[in-house]
Amino acid sequence: MKSADFINECAMRGMATGQTAAFGTVNGVPFTVNVVTAKQLSITFVLDRQISADEKTAMCNSLKFAGVNGGANGYTVTVNVNVEKDTEAPAAVDAVFAAANAAVEAGRRVGISFGTVCPYCSRTDTDAVMYCEQRGAIPAGYRAVHTECANSLRNAANEAKVNDEGNYFTGIIGAIIGMILGVVLNVAVIFGTERIYAMLCALIPLGAFFGYKLLKGRMNSFAIVISIICSALGAVALTLGVDIADSMINYDYTFEEAILLIQYGMAEMPEYADAIRSSLLQDLLFVGLGVLCCIGVLRKNTNSGKAAYAGNLYATLRMKDGSLPAPAADTVDDTASHGA
């Protein structure tokens, strides 16, 4: 069975879908189904609390008694559904719902609650389901929510995007401070371990970005731009910082003497200048890789990124019977952010 065929069949039945996952409900209980292989599907239920060892044993025995291949661990109950490679997508979806229903009934027989608490307000009178990010120790997953909580989440993100507040100047100061801290940590690790860790260079753009954020810079696309600029400056600072630290630690130069040595070497010693340029290219490469590794985190933490993320979560919202929710009136005019 092809993954795309299974996901398309789920979408045709009104389920929210991702690239290799679909989100559904059975008897009002939300679950996520992932396509593991062409022959295996995995169903996951997220619980409201961590189950005890005794409850885990009882749940596993109840699943086994129901003829379901699954288990429980921590905050989740997982069920595996095996299908033949040539199984048609509709039959596979039917098998998923049958296994999910059997798992819910198995849990209820031993007193396991399959997610009834809204992660946003902690009340139990939920009327809908939605994919939720990790909240505390409870992992991300399809969970019971209130439609008003989901609407508030989306509207708050859209409002932050439209009413973009902050100060560029203080943000830039914070980005510079964060960049410097990232450079200092890298220099300390290099001399402490006598090794260069390329991935540690990701701390430079992360430090710049969250320094910008902590000092109340405007969280729009400029936050990413200034973080990248500070990262490039950080690569230069890292190259010079390592050379200065080497002169001070290994050759007992003062800070001022180490600076003068760099100036003299760059002007009068071609081999020294070539070595500095080579180190700078290496540091620029490492910092560039760091930026690429954390660019998703940077985008997600801008106001537009938060609005997009909230929109993606909201797209998975369904009522507990699996139907689409009634259209909610936005409290923010989102067209302002699109120039309409």
Q: In sequence order, what E strands does the chain have?
A: 16-17, 21-26, 29-37, 40-46, 69-73, 76-82, 128-132, 141-145, 318-319
335 has pLDDT over 50 = no
By C-alpha distance, which of 289, 167, 163 is closest to 216? 167
What average pLDDT is seen over the chain? 89
192 has pLDDT over 50 = yes
Confidence of residue 328 (pLDDT cuts 50, 70, 90): low
Q: Which long-range contacts (CB under 8 A, 24 or more apart) does 95-101 make?
A: 95/41, 96/24, 96/33, 96/41, 96/43, 97/24, 97/26, 99/43, 99/68, 99/70, 100/24, 100/26, 100/29, 100/31, 100/33, 100/43, 100/45, 101/26, 101/27
Residue, of 62 and 305, whose pLDDT is higher: 62
Domain boundaries, the chain: 3-145, 168-305
Strands 318-319 and 141-145: unpaired
pLDDT of residue 310: 82
User: Which CA distances in Å does 175 have to 185, 231, 235, 238, 288?
Assistant: 15, 9, 14, 16, 17
Confidence of residue 334 (pLDDT cuts 50, 70, 90): very low
pLDDT of residue 64: 93
Mean pLDDT of the 110-128 span: 89
Q: What is the pLDDT of residues 208-230, one digit of tens each?
A: 999 999 998 988 889 999 999 99
298 has pLDDT over 80 = yes
pLDDT of residue 305: 80
DSSP codes joined into one string, 307-327: HHHHHHHHTT-EETTSPPPPP
194 has pLDDT over 90 = no
Q: What is the pLDDT of residues 9-20, one digit of tens each?
A: 999 999 999 888
Mean pLDDT of the 229-233 span: 97
Mean pLDDT of the 282-291 span: 93
Confidence of residue 163 (pLDDT cuts 50, 70, 90): low
By C-alpha distance, which of 70, 55, 139, 64 is closest to 100? 70
Third-level CATH fold of 3-145: Yope Regulator; Chain: A, (3.30.1460)
235 has pLDDT over 90 = yes
Residue, of 333 and 163, whose pLDDT is higher: 163
H or E, element range at 160? helix 147-162
In sequence order, the 6+-apart residues with CB closer than 8 A to the CB of 30 are 23, 24, 45, 46, 115, 129, 141, 142, 143, 144
